[in-house]
Amino acid sequence: MATPSQFLKFVDDNADKFIKRLGEAVAIPSVSGDGKYRPEVFGMSAWLDGQLQSLGVTTKLVDLGKHVMDDQELPLPPAILGRIGDDPKKKTVLIYGHYDVQPAQKSDGWDTEPFTLVVDEKTGKLIGRGSTDDKGPILGWLNVLEAHKTLGLELPVNLRFCFEGMEENGSEGLDDLIKTEVTKGKESWFDGVDCVCISDNYWLNSRTPCLTYGLRGLVYFKLTISGPARDLHSGVFGRMVHEPMTDLITIMGKLVTPDGTILVPGVEDMVPSAQDDEIAIYEKLDYSVKDVEEAVGAPITLSQDKVSVIMGRMRLPSLSLHGIEGAFYGPGAKTVIPASVSGKFSIRIVPPQTPEAIEPLVKKYVEQEFAKLNSKNKLKIENLHDGRPWLADHRHWNYEAAIRATEAVYKRSPDLTREGGSIPVTLTFAESLGVNVLLLPMGRGDDGAHSTNEKIDRSNFIEGSKLLGTYLYEVGAIKA
């Protein structure tokens, strides 16, 4: 079943109307990480629920309970479950998105009011908080629904929706909801789902569409060394006592080399080398050392070799030293010997690494290195949080459909990427439903999702809406 040309034309003809609706969504400051905006997050859930219902989707708002944030008990915004279509002859696609956004204030450095969608006619940018993360993609689905409803077209698949309002603040309550929902069998809103599609990440660059089939996991450590009962003056006690900072820096200096190699024994060995077919994917990517240099604003890549730089992010573990809690951090010169200092570092992990395998290696190594110091200070190492990596089969029909859709809409093959960060819900869907999950981004790599002046390009929003619809037709057509 080819994508009907009326659908594509409808999207073009209604572009301005769709952008206006995006403006309505952006105007609701649904910031989940700041308690005072919580009513707005609820407002956003009502708005979205209303849109879905008016487009023929049956919905259910699921109360996720309460949580405590900044010493305040707050109600969690509801998850919105939705269903449209129940044809046993069609595939069923589950769509995920989040209707909450990152905090934003004009004073952060925005050129325009963050919660007013500004259409820059010259550049084609649609600027506003949430435009690309993740209201644009959610509204892309609404655009697809509206086209079909208005044109009286039948959807090529059954659709299920799961939208949440806490993604930017740890997705609280969502994992439990998904895990509970899948146990309900025929009663489950996820019953019969054949694949999942998540549109909540970005192209590698600003030129080439991509599909994403992998995410790194993470283990975040807090390494605390304590000694004196209180901060000491270095004039009085320097070279009399074991200084916690000296111990901590010595150990932190043994975790990773300046070229990125992780020194914790066993961590690097766990990862198999890339095979030729995988390397071929990296070679084909529309991503250069120069792109990285531009993104970071300095020529500081670990290598000049494109594939090696890309593999560093996509298929190798990384260890970053984030900072130290408890030490002197202000400007100026303070001659303190801090009494207790905590180094923060994290390891991004890739399959087959798991937090369960990595954590004991790190703890053992840190404890061994500390023992070598013969220090009388005390060491404590904690895992602050972790998440498993995710890797999908990019030869699955779900990906094949997305590749065909991209080629149809953008007239080019998508990049096949793995991302260096994590989107935890991806893993939850993959593991709970046991189906293939596809990350199908709408925005570009320079959208500035969590930054000032967040934008989505008009063409990404409009062509992206066509892409989502076309993807559904390709899923409907493909032989599973």
Q: Is 422 annotated as a binding residue?
A: yes
Name which of 13 and 237 has its Cβ closer to a second copy.
237
Name which of 2 and 68 has its Cβ closer to a second copy.
68
Nearest distance, CB of residue 341 and a second copy, angstroms: 8
Q: Is 70 annotated as a binding residue?
A: no
Piece of 182-190, 292-300, 402-410, 457-465 that binds a second copy (CB under 8 A): 292-300
Q: Is 133 annotated as a binding residue?
A: yes
Site for Zn ion in 114-173 (CB under 5 A): 133-134
Give Cβ neighbours of residue 273 (< 8 Å, ≥ 6 apart). Answer: none
Nearest distance, CB of residue 278 and a second copy, angstroms: 17
Site for Zn ion in 176-235 (CB under 5 A): 200
In angstroms, the Cα distances linking 379 to 196, 228, 284, 370 are: 44, 13, 47, 8
Asked if 97 touches a second copy (CB under 8 A), the answer is no
In angstroms, the Cα distances linking 370 to 41, 130, 250, 352 are: 47, 45, 9, 28
DSSP 20-35: HHHHHHHTS--BTTSG
Q: Which of 439, 343, 457 is nearest to 95 (CA)?
A: 439
Residue of 40, 134, 146, 167 marked active site: 167
Please confirm, yes or no, whether 100 is among the known catalytic residues: yes
Site for Zn ion in 31-70 (CB under 5 A): none
CB atoms within 10 A of CB 237: 13
Asked if 197 touches a second copy (CB under 8 A), the answer is no
Q: Is 354 annotated as a binding residue?
A: no
Site for a second copy in 419-438 (CB under 8 A): 419-422
Q: Is 242 annotated as a binding residue?
A: no
3-state secondary structure of 439: strand
Are 325 and 247 in contact, with CB atoms under 8 Å apart? no
Q: How many residues make up the chain in this entry?
A: 480
- Report helix angle 15-26 to 135-151, nearest 10: 140
Q: Single out the residue of 54, 58, 123, 234 in contact with a second copy (rule: CB under 8 A).
A: 234
Asked if 298 touches a second copy (CB under 8 A), the answer is yes
Piece of 4-12, 174-182, 240-248, 268-276 that binds a second copy (CB under 8 A): 240-248
Asked if 301 touches a second copy (CB under 8 A), the answer is yes
**Mask for 308-337, x = binds a second copy (CB under 8 A):** -x--xx--xxxxxxxxxx-xxxxxxxxxxx
Are 382 and 343 in contact, with CB atoms under 8 Å apart? no
DSSP 161-194: EEEES-GGGT-TTHHHHHHHHHTTGGG-TTTT--
What's the longest Cα–Cα distance across the chain?
83
Site for a second copy in 209-228 (CB under 8 A): 216, 218, 220, 222, 227-228
- Report helix angle 15-26 to 458-477, nearest 10: 110
Piece of 171-179, 206-214, 288-296, 352-360 that binds a second copy (CB under 8 A): 288-296
Q: Which pair of tokens denotes residue 404?
A: 């065909």
The residues pairing with 211 across neighbouring beta strands, listed in sequence order, are 416
Name which of 194 and 243 has its Cβ closer to a second copy.
243
Asked if 70 touches a second copy (CB under 8 A), the answer is no
Asked if 376 touches a second copy (CB under 8 A), the answer is yes
Residue 133 contact, options Zn ion, a second copy, none, Cβ 5-8 Å cut-off depending on partner type: Zn ion
Q: Is 233 annotated as a binding residue?
A: yes
Are 416 and 189 in contact, with CB atoms under 8 Å apart? no
Give Cβ neighbours of residue 358 (< 8 Å, ≥ 6 apart). Answer: 219, 267, 347, 349
Q: Which of 343, 316, 320, 86 is nearest to 219 (CA)?
A: 320
Are 378 and 225 in contact, with CB atoms under 8 Å apart? yes
3-state secondary structure of 37: helix
Residue 456 contact, options Zn ion, a second copy, none, Cβ 5-8 Å cut-off depending on partner type: none
Nearest distance, CB of residue 165 and a second copy, angstroms: 22
Residue 292 contact, options Zn ion, a second copy, none, Cβ 5-8 Å cut-off depending on partner type: a second copy
Exposure string of 41-74, with b = 16+ CB inside 10 Å and e = fewer, is bbebbebbbebbeebebebebbebeeeebeeeee
Asked if 355 touches a second copy (CB under 8 A), the answer is no
Site for a second copy in 106-135 (CB under 8 A): none
Please confirm, yes or no, whether 167 is among the known catalytic residues: yes
Residue of 100, 172, 386, 457 marked active site: 100
Give Cβ neighbours of residue 401 (< 8 Å, ≥ 6 apart). Answer: 471, 474, 475, 477, 478
Q: Single out the residue of 9, 60, 184, 233 in contact with a second copy (rule: CB under 8 A).
A: 233
Element (H, E) at 66: strand 66-69
Name which of 2 and 300 has its Cβ closer to a second copy.
300
Name which of 136 and 214 has its Cβ closer to Zn ion.
136
Q: Is 16 annotated as a binding residue?
A: no
The residues annotated with a catalytic role in the active site are 100, 167
Q: Which residues are annotated as a binding site for Mn(2+)?
A: 98, 133, 168, 200, 450
Feature table: binding site for substrate? 200, 233, 335, 348, 422, 450
Give residues in contact with Zn ion (CB under 5 A): 133-134, 200
Q: Which residues are annotated as a binding site?
A: 98, 133, 168, 200, 233, 335, 348, 422, 450
